[in-house]
Amino acid sequence: MLSHRFAAFLPLLAVLGSVTALGIGTSFAKQLFPHIGSLGTTALRVGFSALLLLLLWRPWRWPLSRNDRQAILYYGIALGLMNMLFYLSLRTIPFGVAVAIEFSGPLTVALLSSRRPVDFLWLALCIIGLGLLLPWNPGDAALDPMGVVFALAAAVFWGAYIIFGKRVGHLHAGQSVALGLSVAALTVVPVGIWQAGAALWDPNILLFGLGVAAVSSAIPISLEMVALKRLSQGAFGIMTSMEPAVAALLGLMMLNEHLSVQQWAAIVFTMSAAAGSAFTSSNNQSSDASAKVMM
């Protein structure tokens, strides 16, 4: 009986572990900003993540067509720019808020691909959440405008990452992720080296960066694969909608980032939009198999 109950909870634990590991890794990464800047931190995280996944999956074992190589190029560039812009946003706005804003990217992609009336509700919740976060009025509680711009730009590239990711969805997941991260590393590592300079090669910094990459990439991806084997795409989407709240809590505990009531409300609206979109999408997929989109 106990083993059956554990098996039932395993996907939830895997998703929670994935989201938590990603948040912990990002919180640790932000602590590198004073030493090597946001771009240097991006270079370490993406560069080491690419190396770890190349060693793990050895993607050269599978052949690629010319169209697949082109799709992976776009996929990897979008992934690299998404990471770089997200870390740039973290310089001046809280972690949980940045994640909530960035969530507007995949939400927009999901909602634009559907014309169901209920999707207008999720779109409205997303807009309300963003409206509560945007710095309309200057003041002590207002977010830094440039930080918000960087987070919104990261959202755009997260949306592009999903679109291009669908084009490589027929490939082995390990191959597409490893090669995509390799292209992302080639995109952002030179910029990070330019910003951080010699500080990037400090052995302690490199070791810390390797740990960040393992916690924020290798562990979450492995746990997500465990969850996806046991969950539908819709259920997985609903569970991952907790990511902004987890990020906000980790930001509070690890980075001492205190959010206002309005910002917490915005995170709740964003999570509700993400969970609702995933729920109705899963119902639609179950009633119409031809509408299923490979992620």
- Domains of the chain, by residue range, sit at 18-291
Positions in the chain short of pLDDT 70: 1-8, 115, 137-141, 282-295
Residues 6 or more apart in contact with residue 63 via CB below 8 angstroms: none
Closest-CA residue to 37 (of 218, 200, 225): 200
pLDDT for 8: 63
Q: Look up the pTM and report it.
A: 0.90
pLDDT for 294: 31
pLDDT for 292: 29
Residues 6 or more apart in contact with residue 159 via CB below 8 angstroms: 105, 106, 108, 109
pLDDT for 281: 75
The tokens for 170 are 């027929």
pLDDT in tens, 107-158: 888 887 776 788 889 989 999 999 999 877 666 567 899 999 999 999 999 9
Q: Work out the angle between the directed axes of helices 243-255 and 95-102 (0-180°, nearest 10).
A: 160
CA distance 295 to 165: 7
